[in-house]
Structure 1
């Protein structure tokens, strides 16, 4: 995976001023675009699209400051059809427009070329198992919410809090499949995993495909497949979020598995009354790499 990510970085550099085929590279490397993008965003701490934009504007800044060509020529050279579109992208990265930077010499926010290296980590064993599940359905109450990487997501918290206590009991009684209990489900997530990008959050349970379910509930059909199940325990949600991050930095690079499209699922096995600590399982859909 480290080699694949470095080849992706090289591809970005070769095609900074044009679109490039991430899917073709992924297939040539024996993986998928979905997995490659997810691993890039997890390890680089930024989506691939953000990295590409920052690198383009870093290189473009040199042409802007050099001043040998007019700004339209610079814009076209770097893949933009107008000075307006180029200016918006330039300002988003550097915090100032091209004309201002050409006049003042800055400010500039440089994005160095990334290089992924293998470091010795993983000194804390990860409690993981692989399970093979037939097709099932996730049912409950869904909402579109922004992605927040660290801390409690207030949008998810508000969504759950708005449900009356009797609805939690009704859902729990309805669940009849693994993973058991009330579930925290994230689906339709942008493969780049950008902060504030939208996802579908469902508070609900797992049921067999033939289990009758009330019409007032939202549903996500989940195809048959394998899942990596990670056991976590400690301060909540920090322990869960740290384990989630470690799947990208430690687990996937060292195992013969990769992510496949599908929802991620968290089930809470035990928790303190104030939810300050919890024991959870994180379910991620996987396939052989």
Structure 2
């Protein structure tokens, strides 16, 4: 519950600083968590990156200020962090569908982007089976993709990533699994995002193994970490629902935050485990 209060305090800070520099370390401080944790939690709960949210809020407010014909476009552009009228016009056109000059028309339709607020909603009825485990280092081998994400749209998509691995390679990777988490694993790591609203991360599809001969596959060395491990029975729909509940219900209710480390989905025999790296 305190985490959600902190998230909303951070949003209040962002709101009053839309026309000035927004210090992301200060944002995270008001949310009582690390900058990494805030960005990941914000992205998962809202469906967009933090930088994209800030960009949309600034462009929405800029559109309102353009109604005042006494204010110059260049002044509004500079006020909301754009270095030139051209850069502001391109961003404005991409978001609202019209240029700033046309937006001065009071009858012109423009996009709204309301201020967000977060609430803790417990869905109830469905228990979450989890355990907290401290594990030493281990190794993931598999196929590596560098993924770009804009507004939660992935490039390449997971479907494309899976389709790019032959059935033979999939079986070969599964056969390498000899250490927990067992089975085929999907590992997301090295998440970053920029102020243009684009996030990137590395995606590995493979297995956890102690075998040295990796047959040319990419290798990811995972350091010692504390893990929250959640058991999931069911298909991909149940996995997605569980993942959402981890971020929206479990994390805000417990005294842990995300560590800057991997997120793992392991699947074997129609059962799955979600591994989230955490810290106190």
> Shared fold (TM-score greater than 0.5)?
yes
TM-score band, normalised by shorter chain: 0.7 to 0.9
- 1:267 aligns with 266
2:159 maps to 154
Q: How many residues align?
A: 273
The answer on whether the counterparts of 1:35 and 1:260 sit within 8 Å (CA) in structure 2 is yes
Match of 2:59 in 1: 57
1:73 to 63, 72, 75: 75
2:145 corresponding residue in structure 1: 143
TM-score by length of 1: 0.85
2:6–2:30 CA contact under 8 A, matched in 1:
no
Unaligned runs of 5+ in 2: none
Q: Structure 1 residue 139: deviation in Å?
A: 1.1
Q: State the Cα deviation string for residues 197-239 of structure 1 (Å, max 9, x = none).
A: 443221211134xx523361211111101111111122x3211
When residues 49 and 243 of structure 1 are mapped into structure 2, their CA distance, relative to the original with a 3 A threshold, is same
Residue of structure 2 in register with 1:275 after alignment: none
**What is the CA distance between 1:146 and its match in structure 2?**
4.6
- Once the two structures are superposed, what CA deviation does each residue of 1:30-54 show, in whole Å capped at 9, x if it has no partner? 4101111111122222211111111
Q: Equivalences for 1:152-231 in 2 at 5 Å?
A: 153-160=158-165, 163-165=166-168, 167-190=169-192, 197-208=199-210, 211-214=211-214, 216-231=216-231
Greater Cα shift, 196-205 or 58-67: 196-205
Higher mean C-alpha deviation, range 198-207 or range 83-92: 198-207
Aligned twin of 1:284: 276
CA distance in 2, matches of 1:124, 1:218: 38
**Aligned-CA RMSD value:** 2.5
Kept in 2, the 8 Å contact 1:122–1:250? The answer is no
Q: Say which is worse superposed, 65-74 or 113-122, in terms of deviation.
A: 113-122
The one of 38, 56, 62 aligned to 1:36: 38
**Are the equivalent residues in 1 in contact too, given 2:144–2:218 (CA < 8 A)?**
yes
Shift of 1:91: 1.7
Alpha-carbon offset, residue 172 of structure 1: 3.2
Aligned to 1:88: 90
Q: Which runs of 5+ in 1 are unaligned?
A: 272-278
| Secondary structure of 1:260 counterpart | strand
Change (3 A) 1:77 1:144: closer
1:110-161 Cα shifts (integer Å, max 9, x gaps): 11122223334344211111111101111122122455679x832222123x
State the distance in 1 between where 2:105 and 2:252 align.
46
1:51-88 per-position Cα deviation (integer Å, ceiling 9, x unaligned): 11111112111211121122112212222221111112
Other structure's SS at 1:266 match: strand
Q: Is the Cα contact below 8 Å between 1:184 and 1:202 reproduced in 2? A: yes
Q: CA deviation at 1:25?
A: 3.8
Asked if structure 2 preserves the Cα contact closer than 8 Å seen for 1:185 and 1:264, the reply is yes
- Per-residue deviation, 1:22: 1.6
